[in-house]
Structure 1
Amino acid sequence: MTRRIVVDTDTGIDDAHTLLYLAGRPDAEIVAVTSVYGNCEEPDAARNIGYVTRLLGLDVPIARGAARPLAGVASIAGHVHGKDGLGDLGYDRPMPEVASETAAELLVRLAAEHPGELDLLALGPLTNLAAALRLDPDLFTRYRSVVLMGGSGPYAPPGTLLMIDANVNNDPEAARAVFAAPRHRLVMVGVNVTGTTILDERAIAALRASPRATFATEILDAYLDFYQNEWGRRIIPLHDPLAAGILLDPGFATGWIDGPVNVRTDGFLSRARLMRTHDGLPPAFPYEAAPDTRVITSVDAPRFVADFVGVLTR
């Protein structure tokens, strides 16, 4: 079965990889793409959508979305993805032709026109989704599924540290609205699992050896420059691509828990967490009731990485 997917993206390096991956999967059809700030400023995200879709020969609606969170100021990850979001390699990125409606309006209209037929894949801060929920509070019940790259899973075992989840941390208010909304199915693919899905030296060499993966490997270096400080190796996690992979093939997920997700802050970072400890117990504090979210807790990382490399080199 072909999944028809609307992609909401802050088009940085792993977002571009995700669009390449979706376009290469025979069971995926990208039907529209919306831009949001995050990995880069929103105008750059829109330009990058245009660049990648032209590269792929895709003629799909593009709608521009939020340039800042619902409250506060945006934290732009130029130090990770390059100022332009694609590694500052000087690509010619004119602003593409965009829809007259906003990203939020497009998300609402497509769901109303095709109820139960489309999947929504959110790869950036959740500001556009929250804005769309203000227009249609039942929006998520009209999508076949909503899959988002964000969140931190259940509470980790004591002494365990997690990567920062920039997507939720960039707009906690929007994330709260998303996790509280009625839905048909909402799937959270968080840093607890994306951080384990590593494109290692061998996989990167396979990409570099393929003429079909030229663009994918050109934009890798800025990302590798950042992540070498995490592990001392020039390797990267496949954050956004894993969310797309699980949308298309739920079998990539080997463990999950259905339960309420809250957005909590420690005064420094905001995280979306399943309200369960690592051993399945409720947390030691009161929390807000919320509809069940499917929270991915483990994945078959080798199988997914092999599929990702195989798709991009075919």
Structure 2
Amino acid sequence: MPRLGRIATRTGLAIAVLIGVVALLLALPVPVWRTGRLPEPPLPVIESGPQIELSHRVWIDTDAACGLSRRSDPDDCLTLMLLARAPNIEIAGVSSVFGNAALKDTDRTVRTLADKLRAEGAKVPQIMRGAAAPGTPSTPAEAALQQALAQGPLTILALGPLTNIAAALQGRAALQTNVVRIVAVMGRRPGHIFHPSEGVGHGMLFGHGPVFRDLNFDLDRDAAVKIVAMGLPLSLIPYDVARGVSLTSANLDTISHAGPVGDWVASGARGWLDFWQTDIGLPGFHPYDLLAGAYLLDPAFFDCAMVNAWVGHDDQLHNLWFSDPVALQVAVRANAPGAPLAESSAVYCVTTDAALEPWLMKRLAGGTTQAHL
């Protein structure tokens, strides 16, 4: 056999062996491999707490891409539907941002949804076009958010990267004082990789399933650093807390009967549900952004902890998982390890009340509910 042929054969065998080893590791019932969680001290979780202040005026920054593809989640659209129908919320503004898809797609999606919500009588303001990428020059969203803050206290709901929000607030101390709270969908414990199957799915790679990123953080880390460094009131609604709620085909059927908006959103969610059922191997999907909307309406459904939050390298994941260990992390320790890029306190939500899911479904189906007691 020629020399090049022998090299190619050996290379092929080496690759085959490597694939076999990886497959074997994924098949083994090792908790860290199966759940993506390295051991961490428990957080001081407060049931239905800690108590926080929220404003009835809300700004929603969204990277909605529901229905765009099988890998496009419907969570932002469910959140907008939930909040637009809430009687105790004034939506002061809505802005689009890149994230789940390119800006042209997220902007078009949120405008389409807003038109449908207005047609059913909801008060949804004009959609403001935001950033197409990190570091985008001044946008209509940035200027409009600044104007809304100048008019009074505001809670900011960040469903995508923090690009628009950081641009609007950076260097503007007077506007920062009117930020009642930023509620952001991001953050994790040190040593945690997001495995949606959590070792119990029946999808790809021996039930191990795909690995998710902390997408909103990863897509604009610099913006997250700026927001954390401002030291503003911050609540993190992470992957962890969403694990307690799952939307199935039956749930989507219920939502689809809630008028044209519900039917449109539920139809766009079918591909995402199929992805979770086929690739992840679970009967339903965790609606990450939807829980951030629920938190605005009634934070008493959430069990959370006051934590130290920082952006920096994750020492527990150094040279593990073949991933970049820079992350927005939380812990109870007084100081972040190493030299963090930014550090502050935050509320980090961990679990939810069992009553949250039926409460959400009643609202998404068009009904009204009392606040959680």
TM-score tier, shorter chain, comes to 0.7 to 0.9
Whether contact under 8 Å (1:108, 1:136) holds in the other structure is no
Which one-letter code corresponds to 2:148 in the other structure?
L
2:169 matched residue in structure 1: 133
Q: Equivalents in 2 of 1:142, 1:26: separation in Å?
A: 23
Displacement of 1:170 after TM fit? Answer: 0.7
Displacement of 1:47 after TM fit? Answer: 1.4
1:273 matched residue in structure 2: 329
1:111 matched residue in structure 2: 149
Whether contact under 8 Å (1:262, 1:275) holds in the other structure is no
1:147 matched residue in structure 2: 183
1:38 matched residue in structure 2: 99
Instruction: Give per-residue Cα distances to partners, 1:196-253, cap 9 Å, x unaligned.
Output: 3211344334334544621221111121132224531341111111011112211121
Whether contact under 8 Å (2:186, 2:239) holds in the other structure is yes
**Equivalent of 1:181, from 200, 225, 230?**
230
Q: Give the TM-score normalised by the residue count of structure 1.
A: 0.78
2:158 matched residue in structure 1: 122
1:199 matched residue in structure 2: 247
**Equivalent of 1:231, from 273, 277, 280?**
280
Given the superposition, is the C-alpha separation of residues 166 and 288 from structure 1 closer, same or farther in structure 2, using an over 3 Å criterion? closer
Q: Equivalents in 1 of 2:345, 2:337: separation in Å?
A: 20
The alignment covers a number of residue pairs equal to 278
Which one-letter code corresponds to 1:70 in the other structure?
G
Question: What pairs up with 1:235-246 in 2 under 5 angstroms?
Answer: 235-246=284-295
In the TM superposition, structure 1's runs of 4+ consecutive aligned residues that sit over 3 Å from their partners are 137-140, 156-163, 208-212, 263-267, 280-289
Given the superposition, is the C-alpha separation of residues 101 and 130 from structure 1 closer, same or farther in structure 2, using an over 3 Å criterion? closer
Instruction: Give per-residue Cα distances to partners, 1:122-178, cap 9 Å, x unaligned.
Output: 1001111121123525544312211111122x3357998784211001111111111
Given the superposition, is the C-alpha separation of residues 173 and 27 from structure 1 closer, same or farther in structure 2, using an over 3 Å criterion? same
1:293 matched residue in structure 2: 346
Q: Equivalents in 2 of 1:211, 1:59: separation in Å?
A: 17
Q: Give the TM-score normalised by the residue count of structure 2.
A: 0.67
Whether contact under 8 Å (2:225, 2:341) holds in the other structure is no
What SS does the aligned partner of 1:168 have? Answer: helix
Displacement of 1:20 after TM fit? Answer: 0.3
Report percent identity of matched pairs: 26
Question: Which runs of no fewer than 5 residues in structure 1 stay unpaired?
Answer: 72-99
Whether contact under 8 Å (1:208, 1:217) holds in the other structure is yes
- Bigger CA radius of gyration: 2
Question: What pairs up with 1:25-174 in 2 under 5 angstroms?
Answer: 25-57=86-118, 58-70=123-135, 102-114=140-152, 116=153, 118-134=154-170, 136-137=172-173, 139-152=175-188, 154-155=189-190, 163-174=212-223
